[in-house]
Structure 1
Amino acid sequence: MDELCCREVSVTELEKTADTSVPLHPLLAKRWSPRALNPAATIDDAQFAALFEAARWAPSWGNTQPARFIAARRGESTFDRIHGTLSRGNKGWAGDAAALAIGVAQSVNSDGEPMPYGEYGLALAAQNLVLQAVAEGLHAHQMAGFDRDAARVAFSVPNDFEPMVAIAIGDVGNLDDMPERLVEKELRPRVRKPLTDLVFTESWGTPRF
């Protein structure tokens, strides 16, 4: 284990800019999903609104805008209720977030028919939110580990909407008091498959780059 695990790690040391094959915009290169969050960090009114304004302007199929969010800042009762729906592993660190949100996708349209690309629309909105967080000097960690049914009940989510993702937003903290397994994850290098495995031309499996 890197010696960083044995002492306080500063915010700067936990900034993990992606090692990309070509230069990317800093909003993309600096985006990562920390668990070590600063429990003293706050999000002001303008920053908080900007996250969801960014989500509002995400593209969607036919401009159907299927994304909805339940959101709160630390200290608000809704924050505690969202936190209560998280899995045990996520509850341990996400309580230090400055804000929590649940992303919800419309699954049925006003005619009672399945909403085309509803989940895709929510994903685009969530990514806009995440990148706006980076622009605000924050980070966002998206989580599948939450109880969808508990969220539906806790917030009276209608049957034609589906809770899909929980999101913790905050500022990077240090590794003090984090379990060793989480310290290891925080210090692990960021990696992705190479473009040769992801982008093809002429036929499947023929790399474009």
Structure 2
Amino acid sequence: MSLITDTHSRLADTDAELLPVLAERWSPRGYDASAVVDEAVLTTVLEAARWSPSASNSQPARFIVTRRGSANFATIHANLMGFNQAWADSASVLIASVAEVPIDPETNLPKESPWTRYDVGQAVAHLSIQAQAEGLHTHQLGGFEGQALAEAFNLAANQVIVTITTLGVLGDASTLTPELLEREIAPRTRKPLTELLLVND
């Protein structure tokens, strides 16, 4: 058995019982580089994102969905930064999450609402949890060349890439570099809940 092939080996140590799909979700780097995500399952994962909440039902989230082996997948991978390039190409799918910013009717220029990126985050969260329920794993990436990707995919001036999501099947973590492997198997930790609650009366 590989170092990490069992979701339960990474189960969150929670102070209250969570839904299994929440407790089991984590962000791996070691994907199965030969696995292909079933198209019906991928559609289901994206449908979960579509039905996430958004301010006034504005639905600002857009997605660039690329499958391993395609030119568009290679474009996203080539524009990842740092450690991300070392492992993300083993994922089955790379998804760029895009915020479509409202256009100000007075200036005809993009005018970002405080909720736009928040709602994209909600969409990606729904996507991630649905993926986990389907037996897949996701990892959010913030290190990427946003301007280069915007140009490569001909995004409009009011379309901004917020994050890249890797999606795939858990693989053999021992294939990672020693530095990445150390991160992969490090204990999962969170701040205590009491530290997060500014008011709780």
Trace 1:104-143 onto structure 2 (pairs within 5 A): 104-109=98-103, 111=105, 112=108, 114-116=111-113, 117-143=115-141
User: Partner letter of residue 158 of structure 2?
Assistant: D
- In terms of mean alpha carbon deviation, does 107-116 or 27-36 score higher? 107-116
Structure 1 segments (4+ residues) deviating >6 Å:
none
How far off its partner does 1:13 sit?
7.0
Tell me how far apart the structure 2 counterparts of residues 52 and 166 of structure 1 sit (CA, whole Å). Answer: 14
Give the total of aligned pairs: 197
How far off its partner does 1:172 sit?
1.1
Could you tell me which runs of 5 or more consecutive residues in structure 1 were left unpaired when the two chains were aligned.
1-6, 202-207
- Corresponding residue for 1:93? 87
The normalised TM-score by structure 2 is 0.92
Trace 1:194-205 onto structure 2 (pairs within 5 A): 194-201=192-199
- Corresponding residue for 1:75? 69
Tell me how far apart the structure 1 counterparts of residues 171 and 9 of structure 2 sit (CA, whole Å). Answer: 10
Q: Is the counterpart of residue 157 in structure 1 residue 155 in structure 2?
A: yes
Aligned partner of 1:41 among 35, 41, 47: 35
The normalised TM-score by structure 1 is 0.88
The superposition leaves residues 76-116 of structure 1 with CA deviations (integer Å, 9 ceiling, x where unpaired) of 22111111111131111000001001001012337346242
The superposition leaves residues 142-175 of structure 1 with CA deviations (integer Å, 9 ceiling, x where unpaired) of 0001110111011001001111100100111112
Cα contact 1:37–1:96 (8 A) shared by 2:
yes
Tell me how far apart the structure 1 counterparts of residues 9 and 103 of structure 2 sit (CA, whole Å). Answer: 41
Call closer, same or farther: CA 1:15–1:74 in 2, change over 3 Å: farther
Cα contact 2:30–2:175 (8 A) shared by 1:
no
Call closer, same or farther: CA 1:137–1:104 in 2, change over 3 Å: same
Percent identity over the alignment is 37
Tell me how far apart the structure 1 counterparts of residues 7 and 122 of structure 2 sit (CA, whole Å). Answer: 29
- Corresponding residue for 1:27? 21
Tell me how far apart the structure 1 counterparts of residues 64 and 5 of structure 2 sit (CA, whole Å). Answer: 28
Tell me how far apart the structure 1 counterparts of residues 42 and 176 of structure 2 sit (CA, whole Å). Answer: 27
Cα contact 1:108–1:161 (8 A) shared by 2:
no
Tell me how far apart the structure 2 counterparts of residues 142 and 86 of structure 1 sit (CA, whole Å). Answer: 12
- In terms of mean alpha carbon deviation, does 12-21 or 77-86 score higher? 12-21
Tell me how far apart the structure 2 counterparts of residues 188 and 135 of structure 1 sit (CA, whole Å). Answer: 23
- In terms of mean alpha carbon deviation, does 40-49 or 9-18 score higher? 9-18
